[in-house]
Structure 1
């Protein structure tokens, strides 16, 4: 994702994504597979070309759970730099959670006392509690200071589907996936404070992943995926449950044909639904907001904040007004 800063955020100049399943087989073999690495390097070569064409000078390029978990993760990083010229940085789980928050804060309900943000990935899932009860008017990027607690589960759609299957998913298989994910939530002790905050009805969920964007797209009945309608959409809790049930009832072939799922996600989407279901059963919120944004937007936001681009613009406008009054 390449973007240019503007007064209230940034404008995307170019964006590219491809599902490469880099973590395929890592759970069983502890190593990145040759085919997965080839797919990733091919996609990264396209990224390098786009960066060069746009003349990008300031960037941050990250790798996440697949490279953290694989014994040959460092070898892959070195191979990427040699073959594509891109220097990837393997970030830790805390950094990944923070970047997910930074990328989504503009979708936080300004009246909320808190947010449970989750990012369901391929090899891990990050969950963050933003405690906003004492934010004193803070908005936008400043909300990242209110991270009260976070956890990273070593379970994502790829490794969960590999363990349980993602094509023919019976009720028993789905419940086994939910139990698998729920087991990793047991150590995430958010305390009585969060339970009390949720009980007030002023805490909402904020989901960023292919799982929640798929649910929103199916809920909206989109004939073709439309980010403009999905990003920022609100789903009531019963609507989320209904969409999960609907996807569970779809045979694999129907999932492939659905324009909001497709062949790339057809065998992964129910694993994502199982992780989401485990989160919903642990913490029940009445509303879920959908984010078609995440780590890339978080990286850009942090880079621009570090460069002070918004503070310079604000300072320039203030000085301009002062000179005008003179």
Structure 2
């Protein structure tokens, strides 16, 4: 983290953002998402989907069903009015497999464009795969593996390694299409799925890497798993399963005589349940063919990939986590400049060899500093509890669940000194991370707590009160102008910090 003053333009950047809307006409649902702006970490301000089932009968009849078309057109008309209310001048409308493959797709496009008041772009399978990959690039750093986006009509697959897109394909394996093709007989689907996957020998390049699962059906499977194991985070982005865990989950559908009675399924929308067995079977056969190391679920897909494609190169190069935290601090913290100063102040603390950190740990520490004051408006007795809930479930990208928990616990300890105090969620989160992560979160929280005794959350103070290590002591040096800030409460907090890093506490007045 450098150039703190330059970064303080986050407030202005956020205020200048113009909303952008994306309408996704899929084979199962029609959805409108309105984002604050086309930025590296886009925040949705409105998100609504309507399950229309456009692709329900395309495989057998070749056409979009009349009832499905009318539902979709009604959704588009509603979305046009919503976009007007939200002052969305820039709206992109895309249509995928069902409209692309249907005989009457052209007629639907004409009527749909009148309903939404905008041009509808019908994506090719190749473009769908590329946008799905760009969605993964929007939500993850240095993504490496195969991304799969399962919709109602098709499955898009693409190999990506960091910013490079490699082999890609689209297959007719969407949930609704398989229901239509097999007459809703799942036992007939295995041969169809295996035959389609066998046409892609490059899938074996995914062995030992990550499979990024995109699409509402696969997210519903992951939600079932979360419910079954009592997973404390209700966040899908970055949720991961080992390949064995994912296969076990999928096999339950194949082996169950009553798949709609499986544990956790009550948390899945009824309209989504019918495609779950087929989505689970596609995932199972895909994992057996590819043999990846793990499955990581993503809420970032073709819509976010579309936004990513609109970004200039310098915006794409930004860290999505830091970008989000900068904007969030600009909106919620008392002083975003103070948050930047905390990053530099804690750099001095973590310079001791005993606190050596990886590049990713340093990045997470900076992100926690940026988020450290977002709960200041809450009642003092509940700042820790509210902060841990807000940060643990925030719309963060570029971070896994371990990192997300570190951020939440760090800010929790910035407000709460005892692990026995505060939110039940914080106790459950600690059980998911290592002792190292817990210790780092406690140290960082204590450091931010001590810093606020000096700065009162305002910029321009702690950059004049450096930390250093000397002869087994953690030294805090105050300039004469701030000598009166020294006192019992400061020494108590600073002493607690020094104890956590195994040092004596020493406060000095310079000059």
2:277 to 270, 286, 300: 270
Aligned residue number for residue 319 of structure 1: none
Aligned residues: 286
Give the match's secondary structure for 1:17.
Answer: strand
Calculate the TM-score normalised by the size of structure 2. 0.51
Calculate the TM-score normalised by the size of structure 1. 0.78
Cα deviations across residues 58-91 of structure 1 (Å, max 9, x unaligned)?
2211001111110110100001122342421111
Where does structure 1 lack aligned partners over 5 or more consecutive residues? 133-142, 315-326
CA distance in structure 2 between the aligned counterparts of 1:88 and 1:8, rounded to whole angstroms? 25
Which one scores higher on RCO, CA 8 angstroms, separation ≥ 6? 1
CA distance in structure 2 between the aligned counterparts of 1:241 and 1:82, rounded to whole angstroms? 45
Give the match's secondary structure for 2:92.
Answer: coil
CA distance in structure 1 between the aligned counterparts of 2:110 and 2:235, rounded to whole angstroms? 39
Aligned residue number for residue 214 of structure 1: 220
**2:255 matches 1:237:** no
CA distance in structure 1 between the aligned counterparts of 2:98 and 2:192, rounded to whole angstroms? 19
Give the match's secondary structure for 1:83.
Answer: helix
Distance change (3 Å), C-alpha of 1:284 and 1:253:
closer
CA distance in structure 1 between the aligned counterparts of 2:316 and 2:167, rounded to whole angstroms? 28
Distance change (3 Å), C-alpha of 1:278 and 1:246:
closer
Give the match's secondary structure for 1:185.
Answer: helix
**2:100 matches 1:93:** no
Aligned residue number for residue 158 of structure 1: 176
Aligned residue number for residue 386 of structure 2: none
Task: Give, in angstroms, the shift of residue 221 of structure 1.
Answer: 1.0
Residue pair 1:5, 1:304 contacting (<8 A) in 2 also: no
**2:192 matches 1:180:** yes
Cα deviations across residues 202-230 of structure 1 (Å, max 9, x unaligned)?
x1110001232112111111799999522
2:158 to 105, 128, 136: 128
Counterpart mapping for 1:1-326 below 5 A: 1-5=33-37, 8-108=40-140, 110=142, 114-132=144-162, 143=163, 146-166=164-184, 173-174=186-187, 176-190=188-202, 195=205, 198=207, 201=208, 203-221=209-227, 228-248=234-254, 249=256, 251=258, 253-254=260-261, 258-305=265-312
Give the match's secondary structure for 1:59.
Answer: strand
Give the match's secondary structure for 2:241.
Answer: strand
CA distance in structure 2 between the aligned counterparts of 1:39 and 1:256, rounded to whole angstroms? 32
Residue pair 1:256, 1:262 contacting (<8 A) in 2 also: no
Give the match's secondary structure for 1:9.
Answer: coil
Cα deviations across residues 150-194 of structure 1 (Å, max 9, x unaligned)?
00002210010122244xx6xxx34x3122112112222328xx5
Give the match's secondary structure for 2:291.
Answer: coil
CA distance in structure 2 between the aligned counterparts of 1:148 and 1:63, rounded to whole angstroms? 24
Query: Please, what is the CA RMSD of the aligned residues?
Result: 3.0
Task: Give, in angstroms, the shift of residue 260 of structure 1.
Answer: 3.4
Task: Give, in angstroms, the shift of residue 262 of structure 1.
Answer: 2.8
Residue pair 2:134, 2:305 contacting (<8 A) in 1 also: yes
Residue pair 2:238, 2:298 contacting (<8 A) in 1 also: yes
CA distance in structure 1 between the aligned counterparts of 2:257 and 2:133, rounded to whole angstroms? 32
In terms of Rg, which structure is larger? Answer: 2
Distance change (3 Å), C-alpha of 1:226 and 1:59:
farther
